[in-house]
Amino acid sequence: MSYESKIDLSALGFDERFEVELAERYGPDCLAARVIRASRGLYRLRTAATEANGRLTGAFSHHRSGPEDLPVVGDWVAVQTVKDPKVPFRIEGVLSRRGVISRKQAGDEAVEQILAANVDFGFIVFSLEGGRKCSPRAAERYATMVWGSGATPVILLNKADLAADLEGSVAEIEAAAPGVEVLPLSCVTGHGVDEVGARIQKGRTAVLLGPSGVGKSTLINVLIGEERQATGEIRSRDMKGRHTTSHRELIALPNGAMIIDTPGLRELQLWADEADLDDSFSDIAAIAGDCRFRDCTHSGEPGCAVGAALAAGAITQERFASYLDLKKEVAFLERKTSDRLQRENRDKWKKINRQMRNFTKERRARG
């Protein structure tokens, strides 16, 4: 994304809500900027007048509570200009987010990793050939992540020209993700590409999500009409695409919409709650509403509508097992999050009490 002239920030998704917050929280001396790229404390920003680099102010760095407070690609930030030609912006703070795409950070700690912010659509890209075929279980997991963000999920089945059974593949993924639009496409033949571009309009933002090597960067190149993103050839020995994207970047499309390219996700641990599961498994949630007991666990209770649906084949055993697995994962995440917040709260008050004791000692020492 590169601009040489002044633009209307509404074309980048800036609206009245952001404008009011900027004025009330930061005052007239701050400008609005959108984060295009982020790398090791250096941010590429776009204001109404220019595109340039920015860094966090010392106060912002000191007072942030955790890594989730740092700017990410897609964020709107409040900036001030400084006399530094290489890094002319200082970031004072991040404006309130919406459409936040997150996953649980790798490891035992319950820590949120934000992948992109202020997203309207989550384009989940899978390959129908090349050793990285989409599975219903992966579609369920990715759809849950996007539903939880508040964005609209759309599943893109790339390399449709290589699919052995295109209709069957689409039907399988549609069954795994009820309520989610599933679009087959081919970046080679152009099939479905126009339908993808039509889903987002000027001022709206989409993010590409999915495993490595499924053609996300190639899709962006086709959408913008030039070789902007680096791509890798398919390996002949196993027909797998090569991972090429190493950072997240906000890119402008010719129609004025924006799309965020992201590196492939090797592992997707959910950052979600039970309401997000109900969105992804809306078929099971709807049937569960007919259970005799409101707290039915669907494990053999009398009057269990889900059990009856399983027996009748209305819900497959594989899908129900996946639902139970994700439900356990979400419940575990909620417990870990609660434990972490309690620990952080205890540490905060210990620090405050320690400071108060030191202050009292100093006053007594001064007489």
Q: Is 8 exposed, middle or buried (0-12, 13-18, 19+ CB in 10 A)?
A: exposed
From first to last of the 367 residues of the chain, give the pLDDT tens digit.
Answer: 444 557 789 989 999 999 999 999 999 899 999 999 998 889 999 999 999 999 999 888 877 777 788 999 999 999 999 999 899 999 999 999 999 998 887 766 777 889 999 999 999 999 987 555 678 999 999 999 999 899 999 999 999 998 888 999 999 999 999 999 999 999 999 999 999 989 888 999 999 999 888 888 899 999 988 766 555 444 434 334 444 545 889 999 998 899 999 887 777 778 888 888 899 999 999 999 999 998 898 988 899 999 999 999 999 999 999 999 998 888 888 887 765 555 555 555 556 666 666 666 676 777 6
Query: Is there a single domain that holds both residue 118 and residue 245?
Result: yes
Domain finish residue from 212, 241, 261: 261
Domains identified in the chain, total number: 3
CA geometry: angle 56, 37, 132, nearest 5 deg: 135
Cα–Cα distance between 255 and 194 in angstroms, integer?
A: 12
CATH of the domain at 27: 2.40.50.140
Query: Is there a single domain that holds both residue 204 and residue 180?
Result: yes
Residue 313's alpha-carbon distances to 279, 308, 316, 317, in angstroms, are 21, 9, 6, 8
DSSP code for 289: T
Taking phi over 0 as left and psi of -120 to 50 as alpha, with beta for the rest, 150 belongs to: left
The answer to whether the beta carbons of residues 220 and 276 sit under 8 Å apart is: no
Q: Which residue stretches of 109-215 are H helix?
A: 136-149, 166-176, 193-198
Query: Is there a single domain that holds both residue 173 and residue 279?
Result: no
Residues forming beta bridges with residue 53, ordered by sequence position: 44
Which pLDDT score, from 0 to 100, does residue 286 have? 94
Query: Is there a single domain that holds both residue 257 and residue 120?
Result: yes
Query: Is there a single domain that holds both residue 246 and residue 289?
Result: no
Q: Is residue 4 in some structural domain?
A: no
Domain finish residue from 34, 68, 94: 94
Query: Is there a single domain that holds both residue 118 and residue 242?
Result: yes
**Beta strand 101-104 pairing with 112-116:** antiparallel
Query: Is there a single domain that holds both residue 217 and residue 327?
Result: no
Residue 160's alpha-carbon distances to 204, 215, 230, 236, 237, in angstroms, are 26, 12, 21, 18, 20
How much is the pTM?
0.81
Q: Is residue 81 in some structural domain?
A: yes
Query: Is there a single domain that holds both residue 128 and residue 239?
Result: yes
For 320-343, the DSSP string reads HHHHHHHHHHHHHHHHHHHHHHHH
Dihedral pair phi/psi, residue 337, rounded to 5°: -65, -45
Q: Is residue 347 in some structural domain?
A: yes
**Would you call 4 helix, strand, or coil by DSSP?**
coil
CATH of the domain at 319: 1.10.40.50
**Secondary structure of 212-254 in HEC code, one letter for each residue:** CCCCHHHHHHHHHCCCCCCCCCCCCCCCCCCCCCCCCEEEECC
Query: Is there a single domain that holds both residue 254 and residue 312?
Result: no
Q: Is residue 158 in some structural domain?
A: yes
> Range of 78's domain?
9-94
Domain finish residue from 261, 281, 299: 261
Q: Is residue 323 in some structural domain?
A: yes
Q: Is residue 2 in some structural domain?
A: no
CATH of the domain at 163: 3.40.50.300
Q: Is residue 266 in some structural domain?
A: no
Query: Is there a single domain that holds both residue 66 and residue 105?
Result: no
Cα–Cα distance between 68 and 3 in angstroms, integer?
A: 29
Query: Is there a single domain that holds both residue 255 and residue 284?
Result: no
Query: Is there a single domain that holds both residue 148 and residue 113?
Result: yes
Neighbour count for residue 94 (Cβ, 10 Å): 20
Which pLDDT score, from 0 to 100, does residue 39 have? 86
Q: Is residue 3 in some structural domain?
A: no
